Amino acid sequence: MKLHAISLRRIWAVFIKEFIQMRRDRLTFGMMVGIPLLQLTLFGFAINSDPKHLPTAILSADHGPFARTLIAAMRSSQYFHFTGVAPTEEEADTLLKNGEVQFVLHIPEDFSRKLLRGERPDLLVEADATDPAATGPALSALAQLMDGALRRDLHGPLAYLSPKPGPVQLVLHRRYNEEGITQYNIVPGLMGVVLTMTMVVITSLAITRESERGTMENLLSTPARPSEVMIGKILPYIAVGYIQAGLILLAAHFLFHVPMLGSLVLLMTLILVFITANLALGITFSTVAQNQLQAMQMSFFFFLPSILLSGFMFPFRGMPEWAQWIGEVLPLTHFLRMVRGILLKSNGMAEVWPNVWPILVFILVVMLVGIKRFRRTLD
């Protein structure tokens, strides 16, 4: 009697065992639920790529109406929060240097006079530009509001001073996220980040633990085949992955009001593909790692580029070409495009397919390596 077919009974046996162990390991189980919640709080509430209300000091030698108009316009843009008046240049310098203010607005003595004479007076804004991301949006808003602000004051006989419209009328449509709400981009992406973080680590540990505790020797002396052990071990974690994804989707809908335009069924199906990719990688790591510590390190080593080069943290198109190539290999990159596409742009299968097949290729390659290594570790 030769048994070469995969046995569902043995997969089920491994599944039940793994499930009991997972449930009993309170810390790990807590982490699997805790990590999505923590990340939601961190990234969902704390991160904002469009910072407003930045502290600004005024160093003004002109208190005429034009200066007041400008200040009022800046304040109403919400980007600038005037914290006080700096009496001298030195003090303005100190404020910037100490980081007490982000900007210093210099209004020269003869600002109003020069303006009225049509001499194009200087208006100096000094910015603490150590973090370009912090000052960028405020500065670009400033350039735009300058023209509009003075137009209202320069009417009647002064109208000739008003800035002329350019030769081209620029029309901007911010599509899919008109208000530019950071959360719309981040929260769906978090699903991928959390799954990458937990699925790879947990599976890589699940198998190394068996070798480290010596239970692998026993398992391999039974008729259980490597593929049965692998499948039995993966299945409970797929369920965990869905719980995590579900938690984040609920939060996205109820807490962050992220639009969900596309098909949720399609999304749920593709989540399975993505979870499988991460689980397969975790298993492959575990066949290479000698112990649980190494498995952790390898998972972390993979997690870092995933979060940095996938387009989650930084715009993908802003990266140099080599970094984009690395990014294209990572499942997270494609998953982010899929999730954002489905939720925000109501993409269908046809639109997301270019991001599905690279993940499938990834799974295939990683599985082949894993199964090859798993066979070898029998000896």
Partner 1 sequence: MKRDELVIDVEGVTKRFGTRTVVQGINMQVRRGEIYGFLGPNGSGKTTFLRMLCGLLRPDGGHGHCLGFDILTEAAAIKERVGYMTQRFSYYADLSLEENLDFVARIFGVPKRREAVQQSLEKLGLGGRRKQLAGQLSGGWKQRLALAASLIHSPQLLLLDEPTAGVDPKARRDFWSELHQLAADGMTVLITTHYMDEAERCHRLAYISYGKLLASGTVEDVVRQAGFETWEVTGPELNDLMPKLQAAAAIEQVVPFGRAMHVSGKDSAGLQAAIAPFQVDPYRWRPVPSSLEDAFIGLMGSSEDNFA
* Contact set with partner 1 (CB under 8 A): 1-4, 7, 9-10, 12-14, 16-17, 20-21, 24-25, 213-218, 220-225, 378-379
Closer CB to partner 1, 31 or 360, in the complex? 31
Give the residue with the Cβ less far from partner 1, 225 or 334: 225
Q: Where are the beta strands (DSSP E) in 74-175?
A: 80-85, 103-107, 124-127
In the complex, least distance from residue 207 CB atom to partner 1, rounded to whole angstroms = 14
- Give the whole-angstrom CA distance, residue 16 versus residue 38: 29
Could you tell me the two tokens for 74?
A: 């800046």
Distance (Å, whole) CA 335 – CA 347: 13
Q: CB of 210: closest distance to partner 1 in angstroms?
A: 9
12 CB-near residues (< 8 Å, 6+ apart) = 232
CA distance 251 to 266: 19
Q: Which one-letter amino acid corresponds to residue 19?
A: F
Nearer to partner 1, 8 or 129 (CB): 8
Closest CB to partner 1 among residues 7, 77: 7
Nearer to partner 1, 257 or 372 (CB): 372
C-beta separation of 262 from 348 below 8 A: yes
Using the minimum distance from each CB to partner 1, give the nearer residue, 62 or 228.
228
Q: How far is the CB of 325 from partner 1 (least distance, A)?
A: 39
DSSP state of 39: H
Give the tokens for residue 5: 């077919």
Cβ neighbours of residue 247 closer than 8 Å, sequence gap 6 or more: 33, 36, 37, 40
Cβ 14 to partner 1, closest distance in Å?
8
Nearer to partner 1, 19 or 242 (CB): 19
Are 282 and 199 contacting, i.e. CB atoms less than 8 angstroms apart? yes
Smallest separation, CB 212 to partner 1 (Å): 11
Smallest gap from residue 211 Cβ to partner 1 (A): 11
Decide whether 11 or 194 has the Cβ nearer to partner 1.
11
State the minimum distance, in angstroms, from the CB of residue 135 to partner 1.
53
| Min CB(32)–partner 1 separation in Å | 16
CB atoms within 10 A of CB 48: 12
Minimum distance from residue 280 beta carbon to partner 1 (Å): 23
1 versus 159: smaller Cβ distance to partner 1: 1
Which has the closest alpha carbon to 11: 231, 222, 282? 231
220 or 266: whose CB is closer to partner 1? 220
CA–CA separation, 345 vs 362, rounded Å?
25
Each as own residue / partner, the long-range contacts of residues 44-51 (CB below 8 Å, 24 or more positions apart, any chain) are 44/183, 44/186, 44/187, 44/190, 44/251, 44/255, 44/256, 47/182, 47/186, 48/182, 49/133, 49/137, 49/182, 50/137, 50/180, 50/182, 51/133, 51/134, 51/137, 51/138
β 103-107/54-60 pair status: parallel
| Distance in Å, CB of 20 to partner 1, minimum | 6
